[in-house]
Amino acid sequence: MNDFGLAFHHLGLACSDEAAGILFLSGLFYSIGERCYDPNQKVYLRFCTADAQLPIELITRADSDGPLNNYLKNCTGLVYHICYSSPDSAQSLAAMSRAGLRVLPISLPTPAPLFEGRAVSFHMIKGIGLLELLHE
């Protein structure tokens, strides 16, 4: 296990055009998961997998006041976050802080419909980007 007690889970790809995202990932031989609405994040999600490739969560906005609006104002898509799972999220976050990383909480743990109700939280790591933490 690494210093932070984290295991890679997926990359989050935010797209303004879900059909284009599906076309792109399908062309890379990803299996496209069922569409899922997450009312906490106000987004539509699809979990996409392919042999010998990183799993990707395809994220598209669902509501006019959702969190993706600011991110997608000036571009049509981007890698939005990186997700790691942790058996002890408090310990993982503390280890990152002890290592000298500045970790800012963005959201408290909330049930994620895409991951069968397992809790996720979001944290901004200064100089790195957005971390989604999947709580074990």
- Tens digit of pLDDT for each residue in 84-132? 999 999 999 999 999 999 999 999 999 999 999 999 999 999 999 999 9
What whole-number percentage of the chain has pLDDT above 70? 99
Q: What is the pTM for the complete model shown? A: 0.93
SS (H, E, C) 69-108: HHHCCCCCEEEEEEEEEECCHHHHHHHHHHCCCCEEEEEE
**What was the pLDDT predicted at 102?**
98
Is the pLDDT reported for residue 77 higher than 90? no
Checking if the pLDDT of 67 tops 80, the result is: no
